[in-house]
Amino acid sequence: MADMEREFNWDDEITCESRTFVELPPGDYDFTIDRYERSYFNGSEKTRACNMAVVYFNVKAPDGQEVQIRDSYLLLGNFKWKLSQLFVGVGLMKEGETGRMNWPALPGLSGRAEVSLDPDRNDPSKKYNHIKRIYPKPDAGEKKYRAGVF
């Protein structure tokens, strides 16, 4: 990761690396949050300009390869459901609870999400992995349901 942050000089040498996009089959996946960035959404026809967080999720593909999915979170009341889903999904909040969004605590936290493979709005021939829904993180003391076990 350190090399990714490195700024090159104009005459530095680089090694040509190819990055291939991995299409995850739609389904449920475990994730770990790599990082988040503070950003700004300039607005659109449907949504006004506002602060935005960009969250990077590391998801393990069925073949074991790690895939990174980037998702944006607009800091607007209309999107409180999505913000809540994120913080409940990593265990920083509980459903129905009021709390502060603790962005610096996100890196390294994990959860489970439904991932979809959606066509690009402008070019339907291109598809992108998308975090469709983040499931609430079960309490540590909560027993998980297992068929036939009491």
With respect to residue 115, please indicate whether it lies within any of the assigned structural domains.
Answer: yes
The residue count for the chain:
150
With respect to residue 79, please indicate whether it lies within any of the assigned structural domains.
Answer: yes
With respect to residue 11, please indicate whether it lies within any of the assigned structural domains.
Answer: no
Tell me the pLDDT band of 1, cut-offs 50, 70 and 90: very low
Asked if residues 69 and 131 have their Cβ atoms less than 8 Å apart, the reply is yes
Residue 53, pLDDT > 90, answer yes
DSSP strand pairing (110-119 vs 66-74): unpaired
Among all chains, which residue has been given the structure tokens 């790690």?
66
Question: What local confidence, expressed as pLDDT, does residue 5 receive?
Answer: 67
Residue 149, pLDDT > 60, answer no
With respect to residue 75, please indicate whether it lies within any of the assigned structural domains.
Answer: yes
Asked if residues 102 and 33 have their Cβ atoms less than 8 Å apart, the reply is no
Of the candidates 8, 68, 79, 80, the one whose C-alpha atom is nearest the C-alpha of residue 44 is: 79
Question: What local confidence, expressed as pLDDT, does residue 139 receive?
Answer: 78
With respect to residue 129, please indicate whether it lies within any of the assigned structural domains.
Answer: yes
Kindly report the average pLDDT of the chain as a whole number. 88
79-106: average pLDDT = 94
95-119: average pLDDT = 94
Residue 81, pLDDT > 90, answer yes
With respect to residue 1, please indicate whether it lies within any of the assigned structural domains.
Answer: no
With respect to residue 149, please indicate whether it lies within any of the assigned structural domains.
Answer: no
Q: Which domain holds residue 71?
A: 22-134
37-49: average pLDDT = 94
Q: How many domains does the chain have?
A: 1
Tell me the pLDDT band of 14, cut-offs 50, 70 and 90: confident
With respect to residue 106, please indicate whether it lies within any of the assigned structural domains.
Answer: yes
Question: What local confidence, expressed as pLDDT, does residue 140 receive?
Answer: 66
3-state secondary structure of 16: coil
